A and B are shown apart, each in its own frame.
Chain A
Amino acid sequence: MTARRRALRPTALLCAAAVAFIATACGGSGMPEGPVVVELTGIDHEWYVRYPGVDGVLGTDDDRYGTRDVLLPTGAPVTLRLDSLDYTYFFRVPEVGLLEAAMPGAGLTLALTTTAEADLALDMDTMCGLPVPEVERYVRVLSQTEFLRRMSELPTTDEAMSTAAAAVDMLEPDTDFAQRLSGGAP
Chain B
Amino acid sequence: MNAFSRLSRWASSPRSDVRPDLVRRCAPVALGALLVMSGCRANVSEDAPVEPDGPAVEMALTEAADASASTEAGDESSNASEDASSDAASDESMAGGESVTVPPLPTMVPEERETLPPLYLKVDDLPADPEWVAERTTAQAATVDASGVRADFRLSDALASSGITWRHRATPDGAKEMKNNHYDHGNGVITADVDGDGLLDLYFVSQVGSNALYRGLGGGEFEDITAQAGVGLDEVISVTASFADIDNDGDPDLYVSTIKEGDHLFLNEGGGTFVDGTAAAGLGYKGHSSSADFFDYDKDGNLDLYLSVVGVYTGRSEQAAAADTNDLEDPLAYRYWVGLSDAFAGHAYADRLEVSRLYHNEGGGVFADVTEAMGLGTDPSWTGDMAPIDANEDGWIDLYVLDMQGNDEYYENQQGQAFVRRSREVFPYTPWGAMGAGTLDMENDGDLDLLVTDMHSDMMENTTAEYDKLKMRQQWPESTLRTGGISIFGNALFEADGGAFADVSDDTGAEMYWPWGLSIGDLNADGYEDALISAGMGFWFRYGPNSLLLNNAGAGFVDAEFAVGLEPRPDGSLFRPWFVVDCDGPDAGNRHCDGEEGIVRYAEAHSSRGTLLVDIDQDGDLDVIMGEWNAPPMVLTSNLSELGGLNYLTIDLEGTTSNRDGLGAVVRVISGAMTQTFAHDGQSGYLAQSDQPLYVGLGDVSAADRIEVTWPTGATQVLEGPIASGTAVEIVEESASE
Contact = CB atoms under 8 A, between A and B. Distances in A.
Interface string A75-116: 001010000101110100011111111011111111111111
A128 to B, nearest CB: 5
A181 B476 contact: no
B71 interface: yes
B145 interface: no
B48 A117 contact: yes
A141 B65 CA distance: 20
B11 interface: yes
B156 interface: no
B463 to A, nearest CB: 9
Nearest to B460: A129
A178 interface: yes
A186 B160 CA distance: 49
A174 B12 contact: no
Given A97-B8, A107-B71, A172-B316, A126 B180 contact: yes
B314 interface: yes
Contact of B60 (A101, A115, A117): A115
A11 interface: yes
Interface string B85-103: 0000000000000000000
B738 to A, nearest CB: 47
Most central of A108, A178, A182 by chain B CB within 10 Å? A108
A120 interface: yes
Interface in B317-349: 317, 337-342, 344-346, 348-349
A103 B345 contact: yes
B32 A171 contact: no
B352 interface: yes
B458 interface: yes
A127 B459 contact: yes
Nearest to B351: A175
A131 interface: yes
B480 interface: yes
A14 B448 CA distance: 57
B286 A181 contact: yes
A116 B56 contact: yes
Contacts of B479: 100-101, 103, 106, 108
Nearest to A10: B76
Nearest to B350: A175
B44 A173 contact: no
Given A173-B312, A182-B286, A106 B78 contact: yes
B74 A130 contact: no
Q: At the interface, is chain A mostly helix, strand, loop or mixed?
A: mixed
A129 B458 contact: yes
Interface string B488-513: 00000000000000000000000000
B54 A115 contact: yes
B57 interface: yes
B341 A95 contact: no
Most central of A117, A118, A131 by chain B CB within 10 Å? A118
Given A90-B476, A173-B352, A174-B316, A84 B117 contact: no
B489 to A, nearest CB: 12
Nearest to A84: B342
A26 interface: no
A106 B348 contact: yes
A154 interface: no
B315 A118 contact: no
Contacts of B45: 95, 118-120
Given A100-B65, A107-B78, A94 B461 contact: no
Nearest to B48: A118
Contacts of A134: 117
A11 B462 contact: no
A173 B459 contact: no
A15 interface: yes
B11 A99 contact: yes
B646 interface: no
Most central of B262, B340, B344 by chain A CB within 10 Å? B340
Contacts of B260: 174, 177-178, 181
Contacts of B57: 115-118, 120, 141
Contacts of A181: 260-262, 286
A7 interface: yes
B59 interface: yes
Given A109-B69, A129-B460, A171-B317, A178 B352 contact: no
A185 interface: no
Contacts of B344: 88, 127-128
B225 interface: no
A170 to B, nearest CB: 8
Interface in B246-305: 260-262, 285-287
A128 B286 contact: no
Interface string A46-70: 0000000000000000000000000
Contact of A103 (B31, B58, B62, B348): B348
A86 B55 CA distance: 38
Nearest to B118: A130
A18 B480 CA distance: 27
B635 interface: no
A11 B75 contact: yes
A27 interface: no
A74 B335 CA distance: 53
A173 B341 contact: no
A88 B342 contact: yes
Contacts of A95: 12, 42, 44-45
Nearest to A114: B59
Most central of A87, A103, A113, A170 by chain B CB within 10 Å? A103
B42 A96 contact: yes
Contacts of B31: 97, 99
B64 interface: yes
B80 interface: yes
Interface string A132-164: 011000000100000000000000000000000
Nearest to A134: B117
B644 interface: no
A-B pairs, 6 with minimum CB distance: A171-B315, A111-B63, A97-B12, A118-B57, A109-B70, A110-B65
Interface of B: 7-9, 11-12, 31-32, 34-35, 42, 44-45, 48-49, 51, 54-65, 69-78, 80-81, 115, 117-118, 120, 180, 260-262, 285-287, 312, 314-317, 337-342, 344-346, 348-349, 351-352, 458-462, 476-477, 479-480, 537, 539-541, 589, 591
12 contacts: A7-B77, A14-B76, A86-B341, A90-B476, A94-B12, A97-B9, A99-B11, A99-B476, A105-B80, A133-B117, A171-B338, A174-B337
Interface of A: 7-8, 11, 14-15, 17-18, 44, 77, 79, 84, 86-88, 90, 94-101, 103-120, 126-131, 133-134, 141, 167, 170-175, 177-178, 181-182
Given A100-B479, A113-B59, A178-B286, 20 more contacts: A15-B72, A15-B75, A84-B342, A95-B12, A97-B8, A99-B477, A103-B81, A103-B345, A103-B479, A103-B480, A107-B72, A108-B69, A112-B61, A119-B45, A128-B541, A129-B461, A173-B340, A177-B312, A181-B261, A181-B262
